[in-house]
Structure formats: C-alpha cells, structure tokens
Chain A
Amino acid sequence: MTTAEGLLPELGSRREYFDYLDGWSAGTVDALAEGQSPRALVKTYMLETVRDGHDPRALADRFPRSRVRLQPVDDESLFEVHDLAAGGIVGLIEVVNERHPVLYTQLPAAQSDAWVRRTVDASPWLDRLWLAAPTLSQLWEYVKASADPGRYTRMAFEHEAFYDRDDLMALPIDDEVDAAPNVLQAEDAPQVERRTSRSMLVERIGVISESLERLAETYRPFHSLVQLQLPAAGRGGHVLYHDGKVTNRSDSFADHRQQVVFVTDVYRRLTEAAENLLWFSAEASSAGGGFRLRGAPVFMRFSSPLSAATFERWLSAVFERRPNRFRLSGYVFRLAETKAHISAIDHHLWQPLLLEVSAHHLLAVLPAGTCGNTIHRLVTNVQRFLDPAVEAWLGEERYEDAVATVVKEELAG
C-alpha cells in the first residue's frame, strides 16, 4: 500500500486516509515497543499562514506551486500533498483551523524535516508554529493537570551560546543558517566546540514536577524547554518540538490529531490575542481631529547583561549577514556601544519589525498587520541562542501569563 520512501498511497477519502494513518501508528509504536522500528513514525508539522482576511490567496497558492500541488480529499479541509520531485504524495494537509494547516507525513524524519524547511523557506505565506519555552512551559502545566503523575513524559532543554563564539563571522553561512531544529536527534551532526547545553529527561511526570524548578534555579539552560511529550489517552504520547513538529509516539492517530488540534487552537488564541494587543497603528481620535497611537511593545529583559563582545557579534551576525538564524535584516542606528535602534524586516514573512536592542533588553514594535508569529520566533531564538532565561513580556503582561490565560480559555471551551 505504500512506498519504501514513506510516500502515502492514493486513497479515496478522509476516512480511508485516517484509518491508514491510525493503522500505521499502531504498527509503528508496537514495533518501537519491541525494540525494533523499521517504520517511520507519523509526524505532524503545524504551520502558520495568515490571519483571516489578511490575504485572499487560497491555501494551495501559499505553497510553492512549481513543486507542490494540493489535491482536495472529500472537501476543502483535507488535501493530498503531491510533490513533483518526490513523485508522489508526501503527506496530507489538514486545515484544522483557517490560520493553521497541519501536515501529516510518514516520511523518515530527516526527509520530512528537510521537506518542510524547503517548502516554508520558499513561501512568504507559510511559517512554522514557534512554541517558545514559555508556551511549552504552560503546556507542561497542562500535562501535570491532565495526566497521572505516574505516567512517563519526556522533556528536552537546549541552549547554544552561538553568539559567544569569537570566530562567528568566519563561519560558513551554512553554519550560521543551520539553526539545527530538533538538534537533540541529530546524532551524526559534526561536533563544534561552543557553550552548548542539551539535556533530555525521560521520567515520571510526578518526579519531574518535583525537581524541575530547582534544576532551573541552578542551571539556566533548564529554562529553555524545546521538547515536551504530551501523554496520550492510551499508550505513549505526542512529542512537541519548539518548531511546531509533533511526533506521534502513541498507538492512536486519532488521539494524536486531537492533541494537535488542541495545541494549534491554543496557539491561534495566543497569536491573535498578542496581535490585538501589540499591533501599533495611528487611528483617528473619537472626534475633534488628531490621532492616537494604539499598540504595545514586546519587551525582553536578559537575565544578565550581554557582554559588549556578544552584543556586537549578535548585531553584526543578524543585521550584516544574510541569511542568519534570526532571519532578519535591517538598518541599524547605533546610539551607543551596546544600544541600537533597528528598522528590521523579517526575511521569512517579509514583514517589518522595529527594534531597540541593548545589552540589557530587546524591545520590539509590531506595525499593524505584521504577523504575531514573528514574535514567537523571536522569543524562541533569543532563548535558544542568546539567553535561556530571558523574560518576555507582551506589553504589561508576562508572555508566560498570556499563554496560561489562553490555555485556560481553551480548556474552558
């Protein structure tokens, strides 16, 4: 029914496809349980498009049409993803909500990661979901509240002091660009010496719950949560990655899909609440002329000041080198050795972003219309590459509290 490369067979309906993925999930997890995994796990990649009403393009037109074709299955909520180069169906796209299509695939991880990266990079209308550490932390609170403390989970933490390197500007561009998503799985990656922390805990929920706070107090990289397993309703669970990938390590695709829908709904609420709060624009005063400015900045306070050298390397690498890990460029106005105002543009979504950066903080102003995903990506990247314990605020509200609020709202229905 399928090819060795993990392409999907051509089936006739949503039900047939979901039954197929369900059977595949059970078989794969059984094999894993026996210590053999000849088959790739089902993986989901949660994607971001644009807010309702902000672009009239059909979903199919947001993918690079020269290579990718979406073919509806039953209706306009599920599509086969035909890749011309791969010569078949690489996965299914489901529109779980209008803003967030998700890709289900059983390609081997290295292939599916590369496919998603290539596809997203080629379109300014697509991005991944960026689950910053405060978001994963609040989902961890959900895990504690919804699963037996005796169940196992896994959490991974990662921080790479990339901009502490003296030889940064001499690095080949590929090293700069390669943010190495899911680097904890990249066993065969070449080892480069720099201050890097990668830790994974596989433990009972109750045990982690008792010790995590103390760990983070004594070792800052434990603030930088990049993977979290949501326990499944049955066996196993669903591993969420910071870049919007979810691996199904349960025996049920239906349960996997439910968890994916839950996370995308939380994310959508968070992003749109953030956009409503943050978007800066001038608007007419109620009467009498004049205007008012509405909006709020994103503010990030570093847990300790960046050294002048790190600040300089970061600024140079991000704004003088393209491409770079932050996927930004811009015009830098230096006000002091460690303070600058920057008219920036997000190279992925091609949306402007206004920044003040110093050794102590980063302040971002989002012009109205700039996708809130840009902020999630910025917070994620600052945490991974600059300061694992950075504290982020959306206006006057802590980022983490904003996530907690939307998780509560989602749970309340």
Chain B
Amino acid sequence: MKVATDVLLADPVFQLNVVLWTVQPLPPTAPIEPVLRRAGYELHAVGPPLPAAPSARPALLMLVGSADAPKPDVVLAHHTDPSFLVVECKAQGFGSGGAGERQVVKLLAAAHSLNGPLGLPVNPDRPGYVAYLTVAPEHSMLLVTLLGAQERLREEGVAPGGAGTLGLHAEDDGVWVDAGQVDEWPPPAAAALANRVRIVSFSSPGEDPRPFYLIPWVPDVAGGQDPQLAAFGKAVLGANVLNAAKSAVGRADVPGPVVMRMDRLLHDATLGVTDFWRDRDDYRLLLRACQDFVARPLRGIESRITLVVSSGPELVQFTLPSETVRDEVLALLHGASPAAFEPSGTATLFDVQ
C-alpha cells in the first residue's frame, strides 16, 4: 500500500507512533532515532487527562467556555529535569478561535504545574512544556497561535506553561523534525532539538516512513484520517485480533472447550491499550464487532464445533473434538481477511479537535 509521504506525515496515528518510538530503547543502527530517549526522556503517560488547577477554571470558562480536562496525546518525563514534555499531534496548524485553540488554552493552563493533574507530591514543582507536533512549515504558524494563547491566559491572571512546536518534513534521506527556536524549551529537550534531527532514516529516497505501529488504530481519530490509512490501522488491529484468537485455539487442550472473552482478546491484540479506553458503552460496541469478526469464519462448521456466540458481547465459545478440527478452525481463522474487521463506536483515548 503506497501512501504519499506528505499524507503520512500529517496522519495523527503516524505522528503518535513516531513520538512513541522517540523514547523507546533502540540500538544506534535502527532506522528510527530515539532522540528524546537519548536526551533522557521516557514515556510517562499516553492520553492522561490534565485538569487545570481549580483557581484557573473560572478564567478557562470565560476564555474557552469549558474547564474540562484536556487529554494530550503523550506526556514525557525526564530523568533529572523537573519539566514534563506534553506532546500533542496535529495534522495541520490552526489559528485562534477554533476548537484547536481551545485545547491549547486548557493545556497551557494545566501545564503551569503538573503536580496536581498528574497526582504528584506538591514539591518539587513539576511544570509542563506543551509541544505541538505537526507538519512543516505549519508549525511556525502554530507557534504564533500558542504564544497568543499564553498571552490570553496571562491577561486573565493565569500563569501558562511553556509552549513550542515541532515540524515534520521528509527529504531523500528520511523524515526530519525541526523545533525552530528552542531557547525556552526545557534544557534537555533544547539540547536535543537545537538542530533539526532526522528521526526516521531512509535507505533509499521515497521509502515508506512508517515505523512499526505500537498503536495502529485509535478509535477517536480514525474518522478524521485519510481513508486508506484508517483502513490500514483497522486491518492491522483485525490481524492482531485473529492472531489472538488463533493463539487461544492453538493452546487449547484437545478434546475440550475453547472460551474466548472478547475483552481479553482485544487486550492481547492491542498490547493492553484497550484496557484504558474510556466510554464503556462504545467499548461494548467494539467488543460486539470483535465477537462478530471472530465468529464469522467459523459459521460454516458451527454445528460441528457447537459454536456459541453469547447474546451479550463478551464470549465466543466452541468445542474442539479432535486435532483435525483444531487444524480446521485455525485454517478458517487464518483465511479470514483482517480488512473485514469493522470496529464500531468511538471509544475515546485522546482529545479530538
């Protein structure tokens, strides 16, 4: 599946995974440069809600009409520097007055001190530095929006957190990230990003820049993705679900029953990320889609394996009378198309604006 590089660079799932890889332990010969890990950062949280201090909420209500907690994509912590990096990924830049800026204002208000939002001891003070990642050169315009939001907060007597932007662009040798002016970034990040950094290396010009996706599908951003990329993420999740089902079948005692719990299957298929999805009603819709997806290939032999699909969305169960039937079930699951997975619902992981 060939996708234009500029479409990929603006894709929020691509951006999220690139950020995740910048703090993973990788050898020097890997095609991804874990630039922030080498600067001393590690992943603190994905999608944490960051409620602003109670004292800032009246001002937030007045400025943006809500004091709800924003949920940035990623928060990174440093081994020694007290400042967190609060990273938010965006397909493009934006100006003032829209939903994007409302999120900026709330993030900046919360970032002044993250001790409260992250449930940390009162001392020492742990501020946040808000970094928006988008495509270059839009990050330059976005910086103007962030600085403007800081100013609006100050005018209302709310001290904002620091703010900066990162721009992605591709060249023949890879994907580069540019932070522009880094004077006000926390020192370790400033040192790492003072010069533009190649974070994905190509072995030949025009190579597909996608790193391996640790989170291939994010329900609340899928609707806004390029359709081809949304389908890709969904199919990867579908493949992981099928493999989780095959794992349960392959390890079952024969003859004997196989009982698959859909929440467990999704847990296994997503490295446990679905355990943290919010909006339980929508999560149930996802479980139902998963149940239908796993049971569908087995319908042709349902009487032979006594297939039972629970009326609730929790279970698919059947019996394996022999090794031959086990092989047949495995072959049916293997032959299913991952692209046929149609997860429904919009369980939320992040803010979508």
Contacts and interface: CB of A to CB of B under 8 A. Distances in A.
Interface of A: 124-125, 277, 280-293, 295-297, 299, 301, 305, 329-331, 333-336, 339, 341, 343-345, 347, 349-352, 354-356, 358-361, 363, 365, 367-368, 391, 393, 395-396, 398
B49 A363 contact: no
Given A299-B30, A330-B239, A287 B247 contact: no
A251 B17 CA distance: 57
A368 B24 contact: no
- Summarize B's interface: helix, strand, loop or mixed: loop
A301 B29 contact: yes
A285 B48 contact: yes
B243 A368 contact: no
B26 interface: yes
A350 B25 contact: no
Contact of A335 (B1, B44, B75, B338): B1
Given A301-B29, A333-B235, A363-B30, A290 B243 contact: no
B251 interface: yes
Interface in B246-303: 246-247, 249-251, 268, 270-273, 275-276
A113 to B, nearest CB: 23
Contact of A331 (B29, B44, B242): B242
Nearest to A344: B243
Nearest to B37: A396
B100 interface: no
Contacts of B191: none
A400 B6 CA distance: 39
Contact of A299 (B29, B242, B334): B29
A164 B268 CA distance: 35
Contact of A395 (B25, B44, B120, B338): B25
B236 A333 contact: yes
A356 B236 CA distance: 12
A282 B273 contact: yes
Interface stretch (B137-145, B148-156, B208-216, B306-314): B208-216
18 contacts: A125-B251, A277-B25, A285-B118, A290-B46, A291-B273, A292-B44, A292-B45, A297-B25, A301-B29, A301-B30, A330-B243, A333-B239, A335-B210, A336-B2, A341-B210, A395-B27, A396-B25, A396-B27
A408 B45 CA distance: 36
Q: Which of A281, A393, A396, A398 has the most CB of B within 10 A?
A: A396
Interface in B312-346: 334, 338
A288 B49 CA distance: 7
Given A290-B46, A352-B268, A361-B31, A339 B207 contact: yes
B26 A365 contact: no
A299 B276 CA distance: 28
A123 to B, nearest CB: 10
Given A282-B275, A293-B271, A367-B271, A287 B118 contact: yes
